[in-house]
Amino acid sequence: MGYTKTAILMAAMTALFMGIGYLLGGSGGAVIALVVAAGMNAYTWWNSDKLVLRMHNAQPVIRGDRMGLHAMTAELARNAGLPEPKVYLIDTPQPNAFATGRNPANAAVAVTTGLMRSLSREELAGVIAHELAHIRNHDTAIMTVTATFAGAISMLANFALFFGGSRERLGLIGTLMLMFLAPFAAALVQMAISRTREYAADKAGAEICGNPLWLAAALEKIALGAARIDNHAAERHPATAHMFIINPLHVHKHDNLFATHPATENRIAALRSMAGQSRTAQAAGRRPATKSRVPTIRKGDRNGPWS
């Protein structure tokens, strides 16, 4: 169902983009606007991962690092059937993480130093598995395309008052409405796509790491940390907020149309329900839906082994 909603939202954004172009300049204006927007965003599409990582001053983690972060990510990637992604560390005390890249072959996973200090290895595995699920589901590419359309729509709407043809078609009031409502509508679509994708990535991430409760516990800790610890890079670049596993901007606490992420308590409840279904299947003698596949985890690491 999440994929169906995403497809509908993407189609709606495309229609909105073409509609604005038509209102501003007729069919010719729509074509010209699309071509110009495509050219302006081509560089962003091919270099989105590098741009985002640079915005957050992410530093590469080399193979064989003493923390074992690279090895854990590589092992979970094998569980997910993915190429080994690049791994980055962001120096900020807020616990958080995101994935980026236009496809699985050009993907990267970035975690913060705050996350490494806050989580156990099991919880960290759940977070990395969630980000790998985004990569496997091509969510990072989808969000890049959505952001591209949203930026193009905003550009067209901001130019609305300077096009005489648009004023003739819409009138001054209509042009003003276009100027303010079109970017707002595009932002709502982008937010809604992010929300549907988070639920899907939670489910797939739990299957990749083998235990939904690891991710549920991690989300609880990350939400508490993100609510009280600033992420200055994210505040400077709020357009990247939807990429994080938990909203880093200290806003949108409720699961509604205006939130870039679903309510954390709803995500945790879904993961706990998933774990309960797995236990029920085991008790009935059936094969469980998930199975732990992270043999590098040490059972004693419960209080943040990275501090």
Report d(CA 53, CA 210) in Å as an integer: 28
**DSSP bridge partners of 112:** 90
* Tokens found for residue 65: 């690092």
Phi, psi dihedrals of residue 226, rounded to the nearest 5°: -65, -25
Report d(CA 172, CA 276) in Å as an integer: 57
Map tokens 């501090």 to a residue. 307
User: Does the CA dihedral 197-109-100-104 come out positive or negative?
Assistant: negative
Report d(CA 209, CA 291) in Å as an integer: 8
**DSSP bridge partners of 87:** 109
- In the three-class reduction of DSSP (H, G, I as helix; E, B as strand; rest coil), residue 23 is classed as helix
* Amino acid letter, 71: A
Per the annotation, the verdict on 75 as an active-site residue is no
Report d(CA 135, CA 114) in Å as an integer: 23
- Distance of CA 294 to CAs 36, 73, 291, Å? 47, 10, 9
Q: Which of 75, 122, 123, 131 is catalytic?
A: 131
Report d(CA 192, CA 90) in Å as an integer: 27
Look at residues 186, 176, 175, 177 and name the one whose alpha carbon lies nearest to residue 153.
Answer: 186
Alpha helices by DSSP H, 137-163: 139-158
**DSSP bridge partners of 8:** none
Question: Which positions are catalytic?
Answer: 131
